[in-house]
Amino acid sequence: MGDASAAQLVGRSGELARLDAVLAGLGQSGVPAVVDIAGEPGIGKSRLLGEACARAEQAGFTVLRGRATEYEQHVPFQAFTDALADAAPGSPAADPALAEAGSVLHDIRHVPGDASHAGATARFGTHRAIAEFFARLGERGLVLAIDDLHWADPASRELVDHLVRHPARGRVLLVVARRSRQTPTPLTAALTRGADSGAVLHLALEPLPEQESLRTLALDIPEDHAKQLYTASEGNPLYLLSLLHAYRNGAPLPSITAHAVATDAVGVPSGLAALLLDELTALTEPQRRIVEAVAALGDHATSAMLAVATGLTVRCVEDQTGALVVRDVLRAGPGGRWALRHPLVRALVYENIAPHRRAEVHRRAAQELARSGAPATERAHHVERSLTDWDPTAAAVLSEAAAQFASTAPATAAHLLDVVLRRMPDTPAHTRRRGELVLARARALGVSGNSRESRNLLHTLIEASGKDHPELRTQAIAQCAVMERHLGHSPEATALLRRELSRHPGPSPGQAVSLRLALGMSALLTASYPDARADVAQAVAVARSDDDPTGEAAALALAALGEAYEGETEAATRFADAACRLADALTDPGLTDLCESLVWLGWAEVVLERYTDAERHITRGLDIARRSGQLHVLPHLLTSRAFLHLNTCRLPSALEAAEEAESIARAAGSRDLLAFTLAIKTLVLLLARPLGDNSALTTGEEAVAATSGSKGWWSALAWCMLGHATFVSGDPHRAQEAIMTAGGGTELPLLQPSVRPGQLDSLAGAALATGDIDQAERWAAQAEREADRLGLGGQRAAALRAGAALAEHRGDTGEAVRLLDAATEEYVRCGQPLWEAYSLLRAAPLVQSAGQGPRAAAMWHRAHRIAVGGGARLLVDLAELIRPQVMAEATAIPAELAELTPRELEVAGLVAEGLSNQEIAARLHLSRRTVETHLSSIYRKASVPSRSALAGLMTRIGLDSQRNT
């Protein structure tokens, strides 16, 4: 099969050209940072990936190549540790960044749980750290190639997902090869999203062309026979080469082409499997034992380990591996490891080892690793594969490894615990330990995104615990309530919690506080906090009487957030003050068990516009949650930080926090949580991206899609943020529909009072844009009433902005400026510089038109300075758009068009150019209905009866302007 290279590049000139283009433009705007090579087994993915690596090396790139493996799918980060094998600790790596990246992944595999290193950066911190290491290599170029990605362990898949959504800076290219049909759905979705956004180049490999294949590979074979062999191969290069090889070695043509059924174990045609295995029949017994051991040992297949696993001497192993290399059965890999020449060969060999011999190889490997002092995390794979019955010692190793993997690779932890539980005897002696392991597995499943499986497991545990293990039962119920909420089942969570609280005898005081807090949280998410107000008050009372300051602080914080959402500002402030005093007096260890208290307190302070206190508590909460591995708390803390940094005009850090929250939400598998994080990200993107950028709109649409029609606070937030994004993109009709969908009608009865004024401001602006003045006035009046009741500066300012928009529409420039000045002062007082800048930019043109040029210029400069310093690209672009109006004399507008708004002038100009309504909509990113609304207003204001008359007017005015210049 020496012509394999030629065969697998037949017909791939188009793919190679696209790869060359990516390498040439890597690091430039618009050039993908990920290449996704997909196709069926044997289609040439690995060969194309190898050619990409060879070309990158010729161009001077650093190239790292790793492979995911079928039988190590529960070894965390295996695909990446393979790629970074030469940069592992203690090796002479050429670059410190590579050595550091290898060290982080090595430590996760070998010493997890070390809070000073890997444990402190657990899971998502590791993703960011690895991306940073790769970015440091970006100046001279780095290509990271991962083969057989469909077999990657969950931790490796999450890291790929992160690199797709957050490509490393500089000239860094990730190239992956995978089987399309065997790729897990979430990974396929991540790569598809990346392709849609332009971050991923997708190369789907098709069968090779017949004529080119036979002309290159089968000139020595009769044409009719060659065509039969090609037909049997279905254009698959690996299959074609194997069939040609068999034919040339004398196999009868009918027997070669007769088998096309795929094997269950490996997924290749059975005829090909027989051909590949036939090569091994000529091996000696020692050689066959070595080949089988290599297939079983994977990453541990060094000569020394092969000697242990086979019982042969090291000298014998070295002699036989040399002979196997000559036969191209084995190939040398990094770190002195041996591998079979192709993953399909490994799979066929592994599946054909006698089960008892296979278990014995793994058992010997596990024993040797234990003898050499390897940690449980490194031994776990071989211990699992060697199990044939219940073994308490093996179970202890797997349980220890699961505990250490819980924060960095929870899917692996869940798998290892499942292995233990399936082997553990179902006897009374094991009942307590079984319950503890089930609870641990349910937590790991929940964290790794398997919320439904976690919830089902917890239901079983709750019923099995009964009266004999009340503490275990209560823990399971509290965890189950979280899973129910993640699945959008808040009513079920509430019913479960109330049932437990009503039991006799009831839970202990500490457990009762925990359960009532869970009730309060469920009520918040379903916008029904008043229903749980008494439960939260009871939690405060129980914690206080039980001398539990941590529980009391948490209950007070939850009460503060609940009252803040409901618009009860005075009560929320009292609760926040009390919670703040208690929380600040507690140590970090004292807060660890109820880290959620800092989530609730931080969000309450954000809603109450107490940003300094909120920053302090959110930062502390993030530190505690990361150190203690409380992943479920992080998205809520990160979104509160994102929202806080947005209001205080720190858009880069706001986007960083929002994107980290999104990563965790995606991994958690909760659609509602994903909708929540994407909603916050939508608002951040809206302000952080330039005018005309569609990323906020796309993210808002995904946020709404993630809600799947569910009701509650998170769903409402997603619809509101989509409304803002559509309004800015120029579609006021859709903006109104989105916000009213969130609020349940024109008066927004389903939205919390604390956010209504801001939403009503947007609705009033949208109504003005559509020409519905009466509705705009009603919404502006409601915003004023709601804001007066709240007494919050930012919400008052939003209502003032709505009034200013109406005054401007009426032509009362003085009143509009007065109201915008008042709004600006409110934003200054409450510490929201982003919205201060926006109000200044709204006011500056009006001030200029009132003849106050110097003041208008000063307003513009301050707003521009805030926007630039805070990374608010939307406001920077808005400032540049109005600069000519504010900084110089306004261009004279003909009297016939004096009443037209800037958008209406733009639409009128495009009509004069001959564009249809649909073409205008596409040019301006508006809906066709919005264009029609603008035209109706233009006809009225310009006193023209028709489209042709408007075009004539615009043409005449244009000619007059040219004659006057």
DSSP state of 53: H
pLDDT tens track for 630-646 = 878 899 999 999 999 99
Structure tokens at 487: 């699945």
Asked if 718 and 706 touch (Cβ cutoff 8 Å), the reply is yes
pLDDT (0 to 100) of residue 117: 36
Least confident segment among 29-33, 138-142, 159-163, 797-801 = 138-142
pLDDT tens track for 582-628 = 999 999 998 888 888 999 999 999 999 999 999 999 999 999 988 88
pLDDT surpassing 90 at residue 576:
yes
Burial of residue 531 (number of CB atoms within 10 Å: 0-12, 13-18, 19+):
middle
Between the CA of residue 591 and those of 280, 543, 554, 594, 618, what are the distances in Å?
A: 62, 14, 9, 5, 13
Least confident segment among 52-61, 425-434, 885-894 = 885-894
Rg (CA), the chain: 33
Asked if 674 and 706 touch (Cβ cutoff 8 Å), the reply is yes
Exposure of 365 in the CB half-sphere (CA atoms within 13 A): 29
pLDDT (0 to 100) of residue 595: 87
Exposure string of 448-480, with b = 16+ CB inside 10 Å and e = fewer, is bbbbebbbebbbebbebbeeebbebbbbbbbbb
Instruction: Name beta bridge partners: 36.
Output: 176, 202
pLDDT band at 98 (very low <50, low <70, confident <90, very high): low
Strands 34-39 and 200-204, by their bridges, are parallel
- Could you tell me which residues come within 8 angstroms of residue 326 by beta carbon, excluding any fewer than 6 positions away? none
pLDDT band at 893 (very low <50, low <70, confident <90, very high): low
* Cα(326)–Cα(631) distance, integer angstroms: 51
Instruction: Name the phi and psi angles at 199, rounded to 5.
Output: -80, -20
Q: What angle do CA 397, 402, 404 make, to 5 degrees?
A: 100
Q: Which residue has the higher pLDDT, 41 or 276?
A: 41
DSSP secondary structure string for all residues of 396-440: HHHHHHHHHHTTT-HHHHHHHHHHHHHHS--SGGGHHHHHHHHHH
SS3 of the chain: helix, strand, coil, percent, to 5: 75, 5, 25
Structure tokens at 717: 């937030």
Q: Which of 631, 569, 638, 630 is nearest to 604 (CA)?
A: 569
Between the CA of residue 945 and those of 532, 624, 771, 929, 941, what are the distances in Å?
A: 60, 68, 18, 19, 11
User: Which helix (H) or strand (E) is 833 found in, with range?
Assistant: helix 833-849
Instruction: Name the phi and psi angles at 115, rounded to 5.
Output: -65, -20
Asked if 302 and 75 touch (Cβ cutoff 8 Å), the reply is no
DSSP secondary structure string for all residues of 298-330: GGG-BHHHHHHHH---HHHHHHHHHHHHHTTSE
User: Which helix (H) or strand (E) is 949 found in, with range?
Assistant: helix 947-964
Asked if 394 and 383 touch (Cβ cutoff 8 Å), the reply is yes
* Cα(906)–Cα(586) distance, integer angstroms: 60
Write down the residue that tokens 């301050």 correspond to.
862
pLDDT (0 to 100) of residue 714: 83
* Cα(11)–Cα(208) distance, integer angstroms: 6
CA dihedral 665, 666, 670, 671 (to 10 degrees): 110
Exposure of 868 in the CB half-sphere (CA atoms within 13 A): 8
Asked if 146 and 160 touch (Cβ cutoff 8 Å), the reply is yes
pLDDT tens track for 182-226 = 899 889 988 998 898 889 999 998 888 888 778 878 888 888 888
DSSP state of 505: S
pLDDT tens track for 44-79 = 888 899 999 999 999 989 898 988 988 888 888 888
Least confident segment among 265-279, 442-456, 505-519, 757-771 = 265-279
Exposure of 353 in the CB half-sphere (CA atoms within 13 A): 23
DSSP state of 263: P
* Cα(585)–Cα(88) distance, integer angstroms: 44
DSSP secondary structure string for all residues of 347-405: HHHHHTS-HHHHHHHHHHHHHHHHHTT--HHHHHHHHHHH-SS--HHHHHHHHHHHHHH
Write down the residue that tokens 């801001």 correspond to.
758
Structure tokens at 961: 């302007």
Between the CA of residue 263 and those of 164, 267, 344, 348, 406, what are the distances in Å?
A: 33, 5, 12, 10, 35
Question: Number of H helices and number of E strands within the chain?
Answer: 49, 7
Asked if 711 and 528 touch (Cβ cutoff 8 Å), the reply is no
Instruction: Name the phi and psi angles at 338, rounded to 5.
Output: -110, 150
Asked if 762 and 779 touch (Cβ cutoff 8 Å), the reply is no
Highest mean pLDDT among 20-29, 337-346, 417-426, 497-506: 417-426
pLDDT tens track for 244-260 = 877 787 777 776 666 54
* Cα(376)–Cα(258) distance, integer angstroms: 48
Least confident segment among 124-133, 608-617, 660-669 = 124-133
Strands 200-204 and 62-67, by their bridges, are unpaired
DSSP state of 39: E
pLDDT band at 4 (very low <50, low <70, confident <90, very high): very low
pLDDT surpassing 50 at residue 17:
yes
Write down the residue that tokens 């696209």 correspond to.
18
Exposure string of 269-305, with b = 16+ CB inside 10 Å and e = fewer, is bebbbbbbeebbeebeebbbbbbbbbbbbbbbbbbeb
Structure tokens at 952: 């004539």
- Could you tell me which residues come within 8 angstroms of residue 577 by beta carbon, excluding any fewer than 6 positions away? none
* Residues across the chain: 965
* Cα(441)–Cα(693) distance, integer angstroms: 43
Strands 200-204 and 330-332, by their bridges, are unpaired
* Cα(428)–Cα(441) distance, integer angstroms: 20
* Cα(760)–Cα(784) distance, integer angstroms: 9
pLDDT surpassing 90 at residue 565:
yes
pLDDT band at 876 (very low <50, low <70, confident <90, very high): very high
